[in-house]
Amino acid sequence: MKKFNTQEPLSQRFRVLCLVAMVAVLTACSGIKLAYNQGDTLLYWWLDAYVDLDSEQAPEVKQDIKELFKWHRQTQLKDYVHILTNAQRQLAGNLSKADLDADYRDIMARTELLAQKALPELTDLALSIKPEQLAHIEKKFDKNNETFRKKFIRGSVEDMQEKRFKKSMEQFDLWFGDFSRDQEAILRKASDARPLNNQIWLDDRIRRQQRILTVLRKIDKENLGKEAAAPLVQGLIKDMLARGSENKQFFDTSTDGTMQMILTAVKIATPEQKAHAQKRMQGWISDFNTLAAQTK
């Protein structure tokens, strides 16, 4: 995307993170190869829902996404094989908090690499966003925030803890198979021990959205060129990958609590459940190896 001069790094940068998140989520899906092979289309639809791309932008954005997936397929999927192979070794051994900390840093480093790879395209898209698209993005943010309020803010603490626990168990059941009632009771205690403050999550979400909108408006109002806009987009990427310092302790504690819950799940898993996880990871390893060998 080389020719536009309006605004919007955010949605695209959101979209880069969406790609990262999407690839991670694919490991929670039984049809990894199908989902990944359709990923460029799904990502375009996601971005279009935020920006409402016009006929001039759409071909450029589709090509950018296609190229990003091509790079990702050729250079990153083998790394996912490494991550999963390492996870298999850890599961067969004595998984520790230090192991999970290292895994988390590894995933975040790969996430940052992907975001930085897309920086030029994100900047080009930022320069192409029109005022009416900026309004569309803001409206989309507001709608999503209201949905978040309905699902995660309104209700009792017990209701919110139950929703969070069920969401976690969906992932644990996928990895390990069904847990017994006694196991679920142990995991519920680990889940409830995590800090719970969905208002902080919403406030941080709104803060980042407002920063995005501020940057987009600045690019538009000052008619910035690519050289001036790129550092602003890069700043948004950095902010998206690192939670705000104002509530850093909460976010760090939340991450730590989730890791402790994972350790608990591994500790109480039966040999059969661990074998189920090993088999599922091996299936994903095979899928990623196949995808990496394909040219699309």
- Structure confidence by residue, pLDDT tens digits, 28-45: 455 677 778 888 888 899
What are the Cα distances from residue 89, in Å, to 100, 119, 279, 282?
13, 35, 13, 12
pLDDT computed for residue 296 by the predictor: 60
Say how far apart CA 245 and CA 222 lie, in whole Å: 29
Say how far apart CA 178 and CA 74 lie, in whole Å: 35
pLDDT computed for residue 2 by the predictor: 36
Say how far apart CA 230 and CA 219 lie, in whole Å: 10
Please tell me the number of Cα atoms within 13 Å of 204 on its side-chain side. 17
Residue spans of beta strands (DSSP E) within 69-201:
none
| Mean pLDDT (the chain, rounded) | 86
How many other CB atoms are there within 10 angstroms of residue 289's CB atom? 13
Q: How confident is the model at residue 6 (pLDDT cuts 50, 70, 90)?
A: very low
Q: How confident is the model at residue 8 (pLDDT cuts 50, 70, 90)?
A: very low
In tens, the pLDDT along 104-148 reads 888 888 888 888 899 999 999 999 999 999 999 999 999 999 999
- Averaged pLDDT, 64-86: 90
Asked if pLDDT for residue 60 goes beyond 90, the answer is yes
pTM: 0.83
Say how far apart CA 6 and CA 128 lie, in whole Å: 4
pLDDT computed for residue 105 by the predictor: 87
**What single letter denotes the amino acid at residue 78?**
K
pLDDT computed for residue 254 by the predictor: 93
In tens, the pLDDT along 190-200 reads 999 999 999 99
Dihedral sign for Cα 155, 157, 162, 167, please. Answer: positive
Q: Is 237 within 8 Å of 16 (Cβ atoms)?
A: yes
Q: Is 281 within 8 Å of 88 (Cβ atoms)?
A: yes
Tokens encoding 24: 């991670």
How many other CB atoms are there within 10 angstroms of residue 145's CB atom? 15
Say how far apart CA 67 and CA 44 lie, in whole Å: 13
Q: Of the candidates 17, 31, 25, which has an alpha carbon nearest to the alpha carbon of residue 68? A: 17
pLDDT computed for residue 1 by the predictor: 42
pLDDT computed for residue 24 by the predictor: 43
